[in-house]
Amino acid sequence: MSQFFYIHPDNPQQRLLNQAVELIRKGEVIVYPTDSGYAIGCQMEDKRALERLCQIRRIEKDHNFTLVCRDMSELSIYAKVDNTAFRQVKNNTPGPYTFVFKATREVPRRLQNPKRKTIGIRVPDNIIALKLLETLNEPLMSTSLILPGNTMAESDPDAIRDKLEKHVGLIIHGGFLVEQPTTVVDFSDGEAVILREGSGDPAPFL
């Protein structure tokens, strides 16, 4: 049975964030709010947690995973970014975008796309998510919570609880959110390429 935390969307309770981070470090998979629906995540280095996450979402290990970061300072640690791309990302961060780059050696190989050696990077515009990442002090391995058979990210935390309370370690209730996923921008070959139009305006990258 998972834990269910009501965390205030504007003033997150640090006590609950500390407990959430403790669960992540113990290998639990968690559900948490972002600026584009709810996401499901686990500790970046935890192989078993990643396998459980893949089972819940019924995705293969060649899925395009994302490292959700607290700010731009972590971008160059995990992604190979040139100056032009860095400026474009910085001007649109935080926000509902996922940026795809060639991964650095700091990214565990199992998180990289096996063919392209890429990784998604994103900084969400959501106070709970940012405070959680600040407390964790490292990126969270993550993917949108799109359950099997659906095309949109889950937006209702009570419905998520009904479906997943026996499958994840923690569900953070951070309010009812928009369902639309992020806009995905691929910089892995240099020029920006829109892979998916979502809640982020694609215009800055066209």
pLDDT of residue 22: 98
pLDDT band at 133 (very low <50, low <70, confident <90, very high): very high
Could you tell me the residue ranges of all domains in the chain? 3-205
- pTM of the entire structure? 0.94
pLDDT at 96 over 80: yes
Determine the Cα angle at 103 with ends 206 and 126, to 5°. 65
Query: What is the residue-averaged pLDDT of the chain?
Result: 94
Mean pLDDT score, 103-108: 95
pLDDT of residue 35: 93
- State the DSSP H helix or E strand holding residue 43, giving kind and residue range, or none if neither: strand 37-43
pLDDT of residue 153: 86
Mean pLDDT score, 108-130: 95
Hey, what CATH class is 3-205 in?
alpha beta
Q: Under 8 Å CB-to-CB from 99, ≥6 apart: which residues?
A: 79, 85, 89, 120, 121, 122, 184, 185, 186, 187
Contact status, residue 122 vs residue 144, Cβ threshold 8 Å: no
pLDDT band at 152 (very low <50, low <70, confident <90, very high): confident
pLDDT at 1 over 90: no
pLDDT at 179 over 90: no
pLDDT of residue 148: 87
For 39-84, how does the pLDDT look when each residue is reduced to its tens digit (9 = 90+)? 999 999 999 999 999 999 998 767 889 999 999 999 989 999 999 9
pLDDT at 149 over 80: yes
For 16-45, how does the pLDDT look when each residue is reduced to its tens digit (9 = 90+)? 999 999 999 999 999 999 999 999 999 999
132: tokens are 């959680």
